[in-house]
Copies of this chain bind each other. A is one copy, B any other.
């Protein structure tokens, strides 16, 4: 039972590109001849297309409804010059310094990657590959089991409670490390720092990874705990609260020993530095705290209004501290509602998966987009 948190994919698929079902039969033969066994074992997967319709209300991939800071745009434009001919700094020193200063840590406590997904991949290989299984919730980010399969790491899912809350007591079992998003995806529910601290103390010999992709929309960051717990790593992204999904920048903060493990993996197996313009944009994003505060508060404010409006329509709304809500209507089938919304030009996310197949995950848009959604749902629900 696994879910996409932030992958830029839609729920409908483009049949036009590289689907094996569309491949001529004679090509199938050629393929298997040259493919490694690894590829043959992969389930063919066709990436979804991003919708290209004009005026679509796009509430399906948890992007920020507000653009990045004008200072970010200005900084990037100013960096677009002939020096693009040069390789970027492989150490990303300037970006690491900015992140370290922002979060009051040292640069040896900062790791950066091409989006938090790349960092998570390194985390699984460097810190979560041990003899015992990694633990993560049954309902969480879909890439965790993917990384486990890639690196041949055993894992054990831990069911969330009936109300989709995460209970630390359920993690009192032998493990090779623990990872979950806080707030969790796609539920939006968070646990407190006290709970995380309890987990860290419960397993002082195991690495605990907190994926804080959505933390800036009302959660409490565990970054300060990284100073006191040698087994805690916290992962962030610039794709959500910093409105920079179009670039690919994520970072991790943790004790120097954990960061060093990530650096070793990156520098041994992976030579992809961050794009120069992406680093420039990320630095400027951290510098404009006013824009950050204004936009994240606007999202949180809209979320509370949207949650109230959806409850008025009869939806059960899970308590969310993320930039999305996870909702279920007792009388209306979620998949049908999602389809009806799409016919009205509004895209939300539906997961056809056990336990949550009657839920919709709705990204918080602008107030206008939220109003359009509520209006459409009023029509659909009758």
Q: How far is A18 from B268 in the complex, measured between Cα atoms in Å?
A: 14
Q: Which residues of B contact A118 (CB under 8 A)?
A: 272
**B87 close to A37 (CB less than 8 A):** no
Q: How far is A150 from B267 in the complex, measured between Cα atoms in Å?
A: 12
Determine if A146 is an interface residue (Cβ-Cβ < 8 Å). Answer: yes
**B88 close to A246 (CB less than 8 A):** yes
The digit string for A47-85, where 1 denotes a CB below 8 A from any CB of B, is 111100000001001011111100011001100111111
How near does chain B come to A172, taking the closest CB pair, in angstroms?
A: 20
Q: Which residues of B contact A83 (CB under 8 A)?
A: 67, 246
**Do A245 and B86 form a contact, CB below 8 Å, given A143-B271, A264-B39?**
yes
Chain B residue nearest to A249 in the complex (CB): B275
Contact of A27 among B117, B205, B257, B273 (CB under 8 A): B257
Chain B residue nearest to A61 in the complex (CB): B87
Interface residues in A223-274 (C-beta closer than 8 Å to B): 230-231, 239, 243-248, 255-261, 263-265, 267-273
**Do A76 and B80 form a contact, CB below 8 Å, given A257-B34, A276-B246?**
yes
Determine if A33 is an interface residue (Cβ-Cβ < 8 Å). Answer: yes
How near does chain B come to A312, taking the closest CB pair, in angstroms?
A: 29
Determine if A30 is an interface residue (Cβ-Cβ < 8 Å). Answer: yes
Q: How far is A85 from B72 in the complex, measured between Cα atoms in Å?
A: 11
**A67 close to B85 (CB less than 8 A):** yes
**B67 close to A87 (CB less than 8 A):** no
Q: How far is A264 from B93 in the complex, measured between Cα atoms in Å?
A: 34
Q: Which residues of B contact A20 (CB under 8 A)?
A: 260
Q: How far is A82 from B245 in the complex, measured between Cα atoms in Å?
A: 11
**A247 close to B8 (CB less than 8 A):** no
Interface residues in A29-49 (C-beta closer than 8 Å to B): 30-31, 33-39, 42-49
Chain B residue nearest to A14 in the complex (CB): B91
Q: Which residues of B contact A257 (CB under 8 A)?
A: 23, 27, 30-31, 33-35
**Do A275 and B261 form a contact, CB below 8 Å, given A30-B255, A88-B8, A129-B37?**
no
Chain B residue nearest to A108 in the complex (CB): B18
Determine if A369 is an interface residue (Cβ-Cβ < 8 Å). Answer: no
Chain B residue nearest to A177 in the complex (CB): B34
**B84 close to A268 (CB less than 8 A):** no
Contact of A248 among B23, B36, B264, B275 (CB under 8 A): B275
Q: How far is A100 from B89 in the complex, measured between Cα atoms in Å?
A: 31
**A84 close to B245 (CB less than 8 A):** yes
**B18 close to A277 (CB less than 8 A):** no
Binds B, one of A120-128, A330-338, A345-353: A120-128
| 14 residue pairs from A and B, CB less than 8 Å apart | A34-B206, A34-B257, A35-B257, A36-B126, A36-B128, A36-B130, A38-B125, A39-B126, A42-B264, A82-B243, A84-B243, A88-B245, A121-B269, A146-B269
Q: A23-B256, A42-B268, A73-B82 are in contact. List 8 more A-B contacts (CB 8 A).
A: A7-B271, A42-B265, A50-B87, A50-B89, A86-B245, A143-B271, A146-B268, A277-B278
